[in-house]
Amino acid sequence: MTSLAEQYADEVQAILAKYPPEQKRSAVMPLLALVQRRDGFVSKAALQEVAQMCGITSTETASIVGFYTLYHDEKKGTYRIQVCTDLCCALRGADEFLHKLCEALGIPVGGTTPDGKITVEAVMCLAACDKAPMFQVQALGSVHHDGLEYHENQTVESALRLIEELRQK
CATH of the domain at 154: 3.40.30.10
Quick one: 57 and 83 in the same domain?
Answer: no
3-state secondary structure of 135: strand
pLDDT value of position 151: 95
CATH of the domain at 47: 1.10.10.1590
Whether pLDDT at 139 is above 80: yes
What are the CA-CA distances from residue 126 to residues 37, 62, 114, 157 (Å)? 21, 22, 27, 21
What are the CA-CA distances from residue 4 to residues 32, 34, 42, 82, 159 (Å)? 10, 8, 11, 27, 35
The answer to the question of residue 74 being in a domain is no
Local confidence band at 141 (pLDDT 50, 70, 90 cut-offs): low
Quick one: 120 and 61 in the same domain?
Answer: no
Q: Residue 143 belongs to what domain range?
A: 79-168
Quick one: 104 and 53 in the same domain?
Answer: no
Of the candidates 159, 141, 139, 140, the residue with the CA atom closest to the CA atom of residue 149? 139
The answer to the question of residue 73 being in a domain is no
Rg (the chain; Cα; Å):
17
pLDDT value of position 36: 87
pTM attached to this predicted model: 0.78
3-state secondary structure of 145: coil
Total tally of structural domains belonging to the chain? 2
